[in-house]
A and B are shown apart, each in its own frame.
Chain A
Amino acid sequence: MARVLFEWDYSSYPGAKSYPNLFNPIRIGNLMIPNRVKYAATEDNLNSHDGFVTDADVAYIRARAEGVIGGMCFMQGVYMDQARKGQGYVGQAAAWDDKFIPGLKRLADAIHSQRAIAGFQLMDCGRVGAVDVPYGHGPSAVPQRLRIFRPMHEMTIPEIEEMVQQHVDAAKRGVTAGFDVIEISGIVGYLISNFVSKYTNRRSDKYGGDLRGRMQAVVEIIQGVKKAVGPDIPVGIRLCAEELLDDVRGNTPEESMQTYVIAEEAGVDYISVTAGWQESIVPVISRDVPMGSWLHLAKRAKQHVKIPVQMAYRLFLPEFPEKAIAAGELDMWEICRSMIADPLMPKKVLEGRPNEIRHCVACNLCLARLFRDAPMTCYINPMCAHEHVESYYPKPVAADEKKQVMIVGAGPAGLECAHVAARRGHEVKVYDKREELGGSLLEASRAPYGDDELMTCVTYQKTMCEKYGVEFRLGTEVTADLIGEEMPDVVVLATGPVYAPLPSAAADNPKVVGVLDVLSGKAQVGDKVVVWGNRKPGIGVALYLAKQGKKVTIVGKEKSAGFDVNPSFKWRYMIYLRQNKVNAYNDCDIVEVGQSELLVRTFDGYRFPLQYDTLVLTERRPNEDLKAAVQGEGLQLYVIGDALMPRNLSSAVHDGYRIGLRI
Chain B
Amino acid sequence: MAFDAEKEITKLWRDLGSAQSEVGKTYMRWRRAALEIAGPGADPTEVSLKAARIIGAEFGRSLLPRLNWLKGEEAWLISLANQLAGQWATQGAQVKVEKGANPFELFIKWERCPWPTFAKEYDVPMEEDVRCCDAILETSLMDINVFFNVEYHIETLKAIPRGQGVCLRRLAKRIK
A residues at B contact (CB < 8 Å): 141-147, 198-199, 202, 246-249, 281, 592, 594, 597, 599, 606-609
Contact = CB atoms under 8 A, between A and B. Distances in A.
A249 B148 contact: yes
Contacts of B143: 143
23 contacts: A142-B146, A143-B61, A143-B143, A145-B61, A145-B65, A145-B147, A147-B61, A198-B149, A246-B70, A247-B69, A247-B70, A248-B69, A248-B147, A248-B148, A249-B69, A592-B1, A592-B2, A599-B1, A606-B8, A606-B12, A607-B3, A607-B8, A608-B8
B9 to A, nearest CB: 9
9 closest Cβ pairs, A-B complex:
A145-B64, A143-B143, A247-B68, A594-B1, A145-B65, A247-B70, A143-B147, A247-B69, A249-B69
Contacts of A146: 65
A609 B1 CA distance: 9
A12 to B, nearest CB: 53
Interface of B: 1-3, 8, 11-12, 61, 64-65, 68-70, 143, 146-149
A142 B147 contact: yes
A246 B69 contact: yes
Question: What is the predominant secondary structure among interface residues of chain A facing chain B?
Answer: loop
A54 B68 CA distance: 43
B97 to A, nearest CB: 21
A618 B149 CA distance: 47
Contacts of B64: 143-145
B66 to A, nearest CB: 9
A143 B1 CA distance: 52
A125 B143 CA distance: 22
**Which residue of A145, A246, A592 has the most chain B CB atoms within 10 A of its CB atom?**
A145
Contacts of A145: 61, 64-65, 147
Given A143-B64, A143-B146, A592-B2, 14 more contacts: A141-B146, A142-B146, A143-B143, A145-B64, A145-B65, A246-B70, A247-B70, A248-B69, A248-B148, A249-B69, A281-B68, A597-B1, A606-B8, A609-B3
A599 B146 CA distance: 48
Contacts of B68: 247, 281
Nearest to B71: A247
Nearest to A147: B61
SS class, residues of chain B in contact with chain A: helix
Nearest to B145: A143
A319 to B, nearest CB: 34
B140 to A, nearest CB: 12
A90 B80 CA distance: 36
Nearest to B150: A249
A599 B64 CA distance: 38
Nearest to B66: A145
A594 B2 CA distance: 10
Contacts of A248: 69, 147-148
A154 to B, nearest CB: 11
A197 to B, nearest CB: 11
Contacts of A281: 68
Contacts of A142: 146-147
A349 to B, nearest CB: 39
B3 A599 contact: yes
A470 to B, nearest CB: 49
Contacts of B147: 142-143, 145, 248
Contacts of A143: 61, 64, 143, 146-147
A609 B11 CA distance: 16
Nearest to B64: A145
A144 B69 CA distance: 16
A390 B11 CA distance: 62
Nearest to A145: B64
Contacts of B146: 141-143
B29 to A, nearest CB: 24
Most buried by B among A146, A202, A606: A606
A597 B3 CA distance: 11
A249 B1 contact: no
Nearest to A199: B149
B1, B68, B69, B148: most-surrounded residue (chain A CB, <10 A): B1
Contacts of A607: 3, 8
B168 to A, nearest CB: 29
A199 B64 CA distance: 13
A281 B61 CA distance: 17
A609 B4 CA distance: 10
Nearest to B147: A143
A592 B69 CA distance: 45
Contacts of B11: 606
Given A597-B1, A606-B12, A249 B149 contact: yes
Contacts of A141: 146
B119 to A, nearest CB: 30
Contacts of A594: 1
A587 to B, nearest CB: 15
